[in-house]
Every structure is written in structure tokens, then in C-alpha cells.
């Protein structure tokens, strides 16, 4: 996991050069590793070799971008091959909004535990209350991430400590294919934001929606811009999968925690979903 920066750089290169079919040597040279060492590191992270990963990207990129961007929730629910993981994901992530008082008072009387941990997709600052996870941020800057969290909860008490909520969430961030346990979220958001975040939970792994298709899924087809704003405010990286929403053009688009990381996560999920069909 501490090799994530190298993996992210490699995947960005693979995507940008996919039509040219870069060799193992080309990719390894780009990330300043020997071919042997790069092959080992990459295979440990992705579960497949760089060559096979490139094949997945090359042959499935068009399918994922063209087919999935128009897929509705109903289509996903009857897609036997890939919808199972999504249904499980929706069931194992339980989301609870903060009370109006907690929302208005900036976390007054709340104690928030925080810890800085490694994950499959880089380092994360993870935070939790007595009810569940309230924030997960991918970041290489712990101080800045903690400052952002304190801005969201200016009156809360912060403690450097981990707990069972964090451990369960981190299990999915370290090994997203591990057995699912219920993860509880305790998050701050408006009613509209909560509705959008709930819709994100229904997007199966390996699938991608556009902002427009996500808006349609909550019967607000003319609210793509508002949906995009709610997605940008998602406080829970990866577990609420805002990374699965892309632009209608097929471009990956922006990501609160770095668009290159979004590319890496989507590529990893695509490969895992395809492998699960084998």
C-alpha cells in the first residue's frame, strides 16, 4: 500500500498510452523501477500483471464508457453479472444524517476520533463519532485534512484515536474484496445531499453513471448541476462511491481527492468486476 503513488503514476501512464500498448519495460522506466520490481509491486496491488491489466483497459474501456454511462438503476438491478456487489454494498453501508442540532451547531458536544492510515488507494484521514464514520479523506497532508475536518465541525472535540467503526471501514479500504461487515456512517448533509449520496451507494462496482443519469435515478433529471455539487461535497471517500460518476463525454472528470486517484480506483474496480465473471 505504501507503493500507491507509484501505482497511480503507472496507471495514469497506461491509460494515456493504452492505444500504443506500452511494454512492461516502458511502464517500469516511466516510474523509475526495474521491470522485475515493477511487475511484482503492480501485481501485488492489482491482483493481475501489468500486461493483463492493460488488456482489460484496452478491450473494456469503450464498453464501460459507452454502455454504463446510460445505464439506469433498473438496468443495474437486473444485470446479473455485476449487480450483486452493488446490492451488498448498499446493504452493508448504513447512513445516518446528523440531527438538526448537530448540523447547526458544528458538532457541539460531539467527540470525533481521528486516525491517519494506509489504504489500497493511498493514505487516508478517517474520522468517527459515537454513531459511525463521519469523514474519510484521501490525503498525503494529514494536517491540511484535519484542518478541513475541523472547519466542518468547529465545535467538536477531536481525539487522536481509532475505534471499531474505523477498523471496519479501513478493512474495505485495504481489501475491498474482503467479506462485508456492516459499516455505519454518521454524516453531515442537507436532505438533498443525503438523497444523492444514497443514490451513489446503489451504483455497483464496475459500473459508471453520468451526472445526468444519476439525477434521473432520483427523479430530478433537470438537476444535474445540483447533483454534481452534492457529489463534490461527499465526505466519505470510496465507501460512498462518488468516483463512479463521470462526464457524459466519457471523460473521468474531477474528483475531490485527485482525478488520477479516481482513474486508478475505477481501473481497479473494472478489473475486479471482470475477474469476478471469469
- State the DSSP code for 178: S
Choice among 110, 125, 168, 242 that is catalytic: 242
Confirm if 133 and 183 have CB atoms less than 8 A apart. yes
The residue ranges of DSSP E strands in 139-230, in sequence order, are 157-160, 183-187, 209-210
Pairing relation of β-strands 124-128 and 111-117? antiparallel
Confirm if 132 and 222 have CB atoms less than 8 A apart. no
Residues 6+ apart with CB under 8 A from 104: none
Q: Has 242 been annotated as catalytic?
A: yes
The residue ranges of DSSP E strands in 129-204, in sequence order, are 133-138, 157-160, 183-187
Confirm if 207 and 60 have CB atoms less than 8 A apart. no
Q: If residue 11 lies in a helix (H) or strand (E), which one and from where to where?
A: helix 4-16
Cα 173 from Cα 96, distance rounded (Å): 20
Cα 266 from Cα 205, distance rounded (Å): 9
Helices (H) and strands (E) in the chain, counts: 13, 8
CA 57 to chain centre: 18
Positive or negative, the CA dihedral 36, 40, 46, 47 is positive
Confirm if 165 and 183 have CB atoms less than 8 A apart. yes
Active-site annotation, residues: 242
Amino acid at each position: 500500500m505504501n507503493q500507491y503513488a507509484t501505482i497511480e503514476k503507472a496507471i495514469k501512464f497506461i491509460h494515456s498510452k493504452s492505444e500504443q500498448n506500452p511494454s512492461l519495460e516502458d511502464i517500469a522506466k516511466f516510474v523509475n523501477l526495474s521491470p522485475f520490481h515493477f511487475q511484482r509491486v503492480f501485481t501485488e496491488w492489482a491482483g493481475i500483471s501489468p500486461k493483463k491489466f492493460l488488456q482489460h483497459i484496452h478491450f473494456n474501456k469503450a464498453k464501460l464508457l459507452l454502455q454504463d454511462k446510460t445505464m439506469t438503476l433498473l438496468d443495474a438491478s437486473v444485470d446479473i453479472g455485476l449487480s450483486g456487489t452493488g446490492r451488498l454494498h448498499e446493504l452493508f453501508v448504513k447512513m445516518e444524517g446528523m440531527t438538526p442540532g448537530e448540523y447547526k451547531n458544528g458538532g457541539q458536544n460531539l467527540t470525533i476520533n481521528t486516525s491517519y492510515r494506509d489504504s489500497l488507494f493511498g493514505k487516508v484521514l478517517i474520522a468517527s463519532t459515537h454513531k459511525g464514520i463521519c469523514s474519510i479523506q484521501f490525503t498525503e497532508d494529514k494536517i491540511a485534512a484535519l484542518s478541513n475536518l475541523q472547519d466542518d465541525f468547529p465545535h467538536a472535540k477531536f481525539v487522536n484515536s481509532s475505534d471499531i467503526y474505523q477498523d471496519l471501514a479501513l478493512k474495505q479500504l485495504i481489501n475491498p474484496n474482503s467479506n462485508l461487515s456492516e459499516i455505519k456512517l454518521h454524516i453531515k448533509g442537507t436532505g438533498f445531499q443525503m438523497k444523492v449520496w444514497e443514490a451513489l451507494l446503489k451504483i455497483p462496482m464496475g459500473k459508471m453513471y453520468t451526472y445526468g443519469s444519476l439525477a434521473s435515478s432520483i427523479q430530478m433529471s433537470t438537476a444535474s448541476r445540483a447533483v454534481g455539487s452534492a457529489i463534490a461535497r461527499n465526505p466519505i471517500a470510496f465507501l460512498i462511491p462518488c468516483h463512479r460518476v463521470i462526464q457524459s463525454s466519457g471523460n473521468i472528470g474531477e474528483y475531490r481527492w485527485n482525478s488520477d486517484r479516481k482513474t486508478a480506483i475505477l481501473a481497479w474496480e473494472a478489473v475486479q468486476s471482470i475477474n469476478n465473471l471469469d
